[in-house]
Amino acid sequence: MFSLVLHSHLPWLANHGRWPVGEEWLYQSWAGSYLPLTEMLSRLAGEGRTNLLSLGITPVLAAQLDDPHCLAGMHHWLGNWQLRAHEATDRDMSVREHRAASAALGNFETHWRHGGSAVLRGLVDSDAIELLGGPLAHPFQPLLDPRLREFSLAEGLSDAQMRWGTRPTGIWAPECAYAPGMEIGYAAAGVSHFMVDGPALRGDTSAGRTVRDSEVVAFGRDLKVSYRVWSPKSGYPGHSAYRDFHTYDHATGLKHARVTGRTVDSADKAPYDPDLASAAIDRHVADFVESVRSRLREESSRIGRPALVVAAFDTELFGHWWFEGPVWLERVLRALPEAGIDVGTLDDARTRGYVGAPVELQESSWGSGKDWRVWAGDAVADLVSLNSEVVALALDTIDKSRRNAAERPELRNRINDQILRETLMAVSSDWAFMVSKDSAAGYARQRAHVHAHALREIADAVDRGHETEAARLAAQWNRADGLFPALDARRLRGDRSYEGER
């Protein structure tokens, strides 16, 4: 059996800059990946195809796809794309980009103007996909205080229930990060399966594995197959016929060239040729199908029973980074069954018995070295320290507030809600990743410190007993960062002393 898993995620970008890093990142990914991907899946679902893939949507991305500010910004961005197409001096590029922009604008205005939840819920209700959830704001869970880790996961799964009418039982843990004991929290939250990278299972990804003494199943990414598409050094998107991601027409910002060659300067890139790209897609579809077939036979022979192959990728690879990716995906999803390969979701694999012996899973991630160095290494020691500080301050402030009000019924406290919201934003795994990879590191550090500052301001007012000022500050910061409106600090498990008093 073959399972395709896509992980869709961007940090919260609304109201935090536009260019070169900020909302532009969201709108490019939305236009390049989310629109064509959901359109393709809807088309396959309309043909009666089911259980096509497992699709992870992080709560923080889901919030942006439903956010009125982001929806208005996306509509404006699509209109601007169409105008830029009109301004292009290259006729072929102008016509091609105008058609693409017009189609995207029509898709958005027809299906997306009131938010992404309805689009995704249709795919869930038609059984086209298995929806994978995750914790709020994408924290690196192994380094997170257990109470906040528990709260973030439970709230994230509830957020999915609110948006899509279903509470996911599978998750893509942020960064595929795991620490021993996390399976206990997963089981308590109703999670039955989650993703890890292949090396976490010592390369044996031919079946899911129950973790330690739990019934929670870890599925591993098959690197041999996944790296055919995308690896740290190679993969299909680098083929000479595909559109080059890094080369722009400076007058319009549109991409007009093909890769041509890895050592070819941007000024010398050949013009993009859609027919040439389409032929390359067909070759890479055939190569991928044969790779899956070969791997299934190899692994089934090795273990003496039908094997599972899981290929997993960031959704944004398809369309945003690799322009031809969505077309390749659709052709692959059609070609695999035609080749006699059984395709299903991770939940299908679990319920159909593609589960092996328990594994004593160790600390791991899907980052460099497959350990925690990207999120806990020397390069981000300052962020690790900042995260510890803000989490301790947030929990201490909320615990004191709740103890002081212990004699009264606990009512909704918008101050505590915003404290948790800013804390979760501050400890997002994205900031450490961007610093470690030197990808907009300044923006990442600035974002972490902005949320830490917001938390400190609110907590300081609470500590001084200035409730009115604290409420004003919480409301002010909420205008910029008001995602997860259902977040409720009352659901944060109390500290031991508080629990004893209650």
pLDDT at 352: 97
Asked if 25 and 119 sit in the same domain, the reply is yes
- For the cut 90, the answer to whether the pLDDT of residue 232 exceeds it is no
pLDDT band at 231 (very low <50, low <70, confident <90, very high): confident
Asked if 402 and 300 sit in the same domain, the reply is no
Q: What mean pLDDT is reported for the chain?
A: 96
β-strand partners of 247: none
Per DSSP, the three-state class of 55 is: strand
Tell me the pLDDT tens digit for each residue of 169-207.
999 999 999 999 999 999 999 999 999 999 999 999 999
Asked if 20 and 133 sit in the same domain, the reply is yes
pLDDT at 496: 59
Q: What does the block give as tokens for 426?
A: 């501050």
Residue 366 maps to a domain: no
Asked if 328 and 454 sit in the same domain, the reply is no
Asked if 380 and 332 sit in the same domain, the reply is no
Asked if 140 and 257 sit in the same domain, the reply is yes
Element (H, E) at 384: helix 381-404
pLDDT at 407: 77
Residue 237 maps to a domain: yes
Note the helical H segments in 1-90. 23-29, 35-46, 59-66, 68-87
Q: What does the block give as tokens for 341?
A: 């390969």
Under 8 Å CB-to-CB from 159, ≥6 apart: which residues? 59, 62, 63, 133, 136, 484, 486
- For the cut 60, the answer to whether the pLDDT of residue 499 exceeds it is no
Tell me the pLDDT tens digit for each residue of 319-373.
999 999 999 999 999 999 999 999 999 999 999 999 999 999 999 999 999 999 9
pLDDT band at 222 (very low <50, low <70, confident <90, very high): very high
pLDDT at 234: 86
Q: Is 190 left (phi over 0), alpha (psi -120 to 50) or beta?
A: left
Which of 356, 391, 420 represents a domain boundary (last residue)? 356
Q: Which of 458, 444, 465, 456 is nearest to 389 (CA)?
A: 456
Which of 322, 356, 390 represents a domain boundary (last residue)? 356
Q: What is the CATH number of the domain that holds 307?
A: 3.20.110.10
pLDDT band at 409 (very low <50, low <70, confident <90, very high): confident
- Say if CB 56 and CB 6 are below 8 A apart: yes
**Domain extent for 91:** 2-356
Which of 301, 328, 356 represents a domain boundary (last residue)? 356
Residue 368 maps to a domain: no
Residue 367 maps to a domain: no
CA dist., res. 352 & res. 319, Å (int): 32
Report which residue type is found at 250.
H
- Say if CB 240 and CB 260 are below 8 A apart: yes
Edge-to-edge strand ranges of the sheet holding 53-57: 309-314, 2-8, 53-57, 129-133, 170-171, 193-196, 217-220, 208-211, 355-359
CA dist., res. 64 & res. 367, Å (int): 25
Residue 33 maps to a domain: yes
Q: What does the block give as tokens for 316?
A: 């944004």
Asked if 112 and 251 sit in the same domain, the reply is yes
Tell me the pLDDT tens digit for each residue of 412-424.
999 999 999 999 9
- For the cut 50, the answer to whether the pLDDT of residue 132 exceeds it is yes
pLDDT at 500: 36
Report residue 443 CA to chain centroid gap: 19
- Say if CB 483 and CB 421 are below 8 A apart: yes
Q: Is 183 left (phi over 0), alpha (psi -120 to 50) or beta?
A: alpha
Report residue 173 CA to chain centroid gap: 9
Mean predicted confidence (pLDDT) in 244-264: 94
CA dist., res. 209 & res. 383, Å (int): 33
Under 8 Å CB-to-CB from 392, ≥6 apart: which residues? 145
Residues counted in the chain: 502
Per DSSP, the three-state class of 459 is: helix
Query: Total domain count for the chain?
Result: 2
- Say if CB 134 and CB 173 are below 8 A apart: yes
Asked if 12 and 41 sit in the same domain, the reply is yes
- Say if CB 78 and CB 104 are below 8 A apart: yes
Q: What is the CATH number of the domain that holds 435?
A: 1.20.1430.10
Asked if 333 and 460 sit in the same domain, the reply is no
> Which one of the listed residues 23, 145, 175, 348 is annotated catalytic?
175
Q: What does the block give as tokens for 3?
A: 């399972």
Asked if 381 and 286 sit in the same domain, the reply is no
268 is catalytic: no
Asked if 290 and 389 sit in the same domain, the reply is no
Q: Output the pTM of the full model.
A: 0.95
Residue 40 maps to a domain: yes
> Which one of the listed residues 39, 215, 273, 314 is annotated catalytic?
314
Mean predicted confidence (pLDDT) in 392-416: 92
pLDDT at 410: 87
Q: Would you give the DSSP letter of residue 244?
A: P
Residue 362 maps to a domain: no
175 is catalytic: yes
Residue 361 maps to a domain: no
Asked if 47 and 105 sit in the same domain, the reply is yes
